[in-house]
Copies of this chain bind each other. A is one copy, B any other.
Amino acid sequence: MMYNPLLLPELKEMLRTQDRPGLEELLDELHAATLAEFSAGLSSQEIWELLSYAPVERQAEVFSYFPLSKQVELVQEGDPERVAKTLEAMPHDARVDLLKQLDEKLVEQLLPLVRPSDRRDIRHLLSYPEHSAGAVMTTDFAWIPAHVTVEEALQRLRQQAAECETIYYVYVLDRYQHLVGLVSLRELLLAQPQQCVEEIMQSEVISVRVDQDQEEAARVLAKFDLLALPVVDPQNRLVGIITHDDVIDVMQQEATEDALHMAAVAPLEENYLEAPFARVWERRAIWLSCLFIAELFTFTALAHFEHAIQAVTALALFVPLCISTGGNSGSQAATLVTRALAVGQVRLDQWWKVLRHELLMGLALGVTLGAIAFVRAMFTPESILDGVDAWLLAQVVALSVAGICLWGTLVGSMLPLLFQRFGMDPGYASTPFVATFVDVTGIIIYFSIAQALLLA
């Protein structure tokens, strides 16, 4: 395994002394991702200088491995003519991702310098809505017409190879660009040179529509173990492909988004430590404030039962224990159901099965926790009991814990399904959301039981 094989000061020294043989060898031998990672510590000026020791295709390859924020910096501080040449040689999807991050002004300044065919391609890809298959696809796919022979197909592939993101899947198009078949390079290699492509191609091609969600595209590629997934327009014309590495990126991005939803943070586009403070504050404060305002109702609920607390102070001491039970059991159930929905183990129309399952589970878990609560409450010190029967108090606490645990489990399992039903991301039925909801209702359950058993 070869990572960062050289230290940054050495690289700087090579640049300072213009060590052409050394730098050319370096740029030739290392993986583009390694080069990008390792030169990220240089200034933009130095990076452009380093890249100039490689041919423009290689420059573009290394360039697209820099983090987006670094790419933006390089574009802003680079010579526009050179930036335009780099854009021309970059993968079609990567350059669009970059341009989306730039000032519109800068884009309008750069685009006229890019050659017309690439310019058109960029404008076209920029027009697809965020998170759609069109927005993540690339237009540099390999294709052949159906009537050619295997030998001719291989010849055409050799010509296209330099510009294509992958040549391992070759799409077969009719003269109107309709997707009519797929042949893998493996199949071409195994076929007789004089066979017609039409004979060996698969005619049932799995594809997605350009306006479908990127997550759906990722799921389809993953399900069928594909290297690349063709993207078609409503007329079934091939407009692009989504490759396996893009799907891995989409999946990482979606996993982060899901995790942030679950912790109630609005998603961030930037790196955690690089994002501007004010923006991060805003994203975090919005949700925390909403939850806090919702949580204010715990005060209202408790105020309603103030006479009970005044009569039996010991009741107040069990409040955090009782309500946290609901939050924890609710967040367990919500996470299980959300994940099961995400990986397709549960469908919306199975809500009844989920409800039955969680009803039993909530009861079983409630009994478990209630038993622990009962034992603990029996040991309440005399000074705190203040005349209240420990046996009766233990019953109140145990029943409340069991009831709130069941309630939290039911709420936690049903909310993600409900959210999905109304077209919202089930991930929003997150731990803090469920916990806050169950906190308020938990107080009501607890004191209602206390009033019935203890204060009647």
Q: Which candidate, A71-79, A98-106, A352-360, is the interface stretch facing chain B?
A: A352-360
List, in ascending order, chain B residues with CB within 8 A of A224's CB.
31, 33-34
Q: Which of A222-280 contact B (CB under 8 A)?
A: 222-225, 227, 244-245, 247-249, 251-252, 255-256, 258-260, 262-265, 271-273, 277, 280
List, in ascending order, chain B residues with CB within 8 A of A208's CB.
1
List, in ascending order, chain B residues with CB within 8 A of A8's CB.
none
Is A298 an interface position by the 8 A CB rule?
A: yes
Is A167 an interface position by the 8 A CB rule?
A: yes
A210 to chain B, nearest CB (A): 13
List, in ascending order, chain B residues with CB within 8 A of A296's CB.
321, 372, 376
Q: Could you tell me if A259 and B335 are in contact, using CB atoms closer than 8 angstroms?
A: yes
List, in ascending order, chain B residues with CB within 8 A of A244's CB.
227, 244-245, 248
List, in ascending order, chain B residues with CB within 8 A of A158's CB.
189-190
How many copies the complex holds: the figure is 2
Is A6 an interface position by the 8 A CB rule?
A: no
Chain A, interface size category, equals: 35 or more
List, in ascending order, chain B residues with CB within 8 A of A167's CB.
186, 189
List, in ascending order, chain B residues with CB within 8 A of A207's CB.
1
Q: Which candidate, A47-55, A120-128, A287-295, is the interface stretch facing chain B?
A: A287-295
The digit string for A281-303, where 1 denotes a CB below 8 A from any CB of B, is 10011011101110110110011
List, in ascending order, chain B residues with CB within 8 A of A249's CB.
222
Q: How far is B339's CA from A258's CA once the two chains are assembled, in angstroms?
A: 10
A230 to chain B, nearest CB (A): 10
Q: How far is B339's CA from A324's CA once the two chains are assembled, in angstroms?
A: 25
Is A204 an interface position by the 8 A CB rule?
A: yes
Q: Could you tell me if B31 and A324 are in contact, using CB atoms closer than 8 angstroms?
A: no
List, in ascending order, chain B residues with CB within 8 A of A161's CB.
186, 189-190
Contact A324-B336, Cβ < 8 Å, known A190-B161, A281-B364, A316-B316:
no
Q: How far is B223's CA from A2's CA once the two chains are assembled, in angstroms?
A: 13
Is A139 an interface position by the 8 A CB rule?
A: no
A192 to chain B, nearest CB (A): 11
Q: Could you tell me if B365 and A285 are in contact, using CB atoms closer than 8 angstroms?
A: yes
Q: Could you tell me if B272 and A345 are in contact, using CB atoms closer than 8 angstroms?
A: yes
From B186, B223, B259, B292, give the contact of A339 (CB < 8 A): B259
Contact A288-B328, Cβ < 8 Å, known A272-B345, A323-B320:
yes
Q: Could you tell me if A245 and B264 are in contact, using CB atoms closer than 8 angstroms?
A: no
Is A17 an interface position by the 8 A CB rule?
A: no
Is A350 an interface position by the 8 A CB rule?
A: yes
Q: How far is B27's CA from A243's CA once the two chains are assembled, in angstroms?
A: 27
Q: Please name the residue on chain B nearest to A245 by beta carbon.
A: B225
Is A329 an interface position by the 8 A CB rule?
A: yes
Contact A206-B31, Cβ < 8 Å, known A244-B244, A365-B285:
yes
Q: Could you tell me if A299 and B317 are in contact, using CB atoms closer than 8 angstroms?
A: yes
From B262, B271, B293, B329, give the contact of A372 (CB < 8 A): B293
Is A39 an interface position by the 8 A CB rule?
A: no
Q: Could you tell me if A320 and B295 are in contact, using CB atoms closer than 8 angstroms?
A: yes
Is A30 an interface position by the 8 A CB rule?
A: yes
Q: Which of A163-181 contact B (CB under 8 A)?
A: 167-168
List, in ascending order, chain B residues with CB within 8 A of A381's CB.
303
Q: Could you tell me if A432 and B328 are in contact, using CB atoms closer than 8 angstroms?
A: yes
Is A431 an interface position by the 8 A CB rule?
A: yes
Is A343 an interface position by the 8 A CB rule?
A: yes
Is A400 an interface position by the 8 A CB rule?
A: no
Q: Which candidate, A107-115, A143-151, A305-313, is the interface stretch facing chain B?
A: A305-313
Could you pull out 26 A-B pairs where Cβ atoms are within 8 angstroms?
A29-B203, A168-B186, A244-B245, A259-B259, A260-B335, A262-B263, A263-B331, A263-B332, A264-B332, A271-B345, A272-B337, A272-B340, A272-B345, A273-B353, A277-B360, A285-B368, A288-B369, A288-B405, A292-B321, A293-B372, A298-B324, A299-B376, A302-B317, A303-B381, A306-B384, A435-B435
Top 4 closest pairs, chain A to chain B, by CB: A263-B335, A272-B340, A298-B320, A225-B245
Other than the known A161-B189, A299-B320, A431-B432, what 7 A-B pairs have Cβ atoms closer than 8 Å? A248-B248, A288-B369, A293-B372, A295-B321, A296-B376, A306-B317, A310-B313
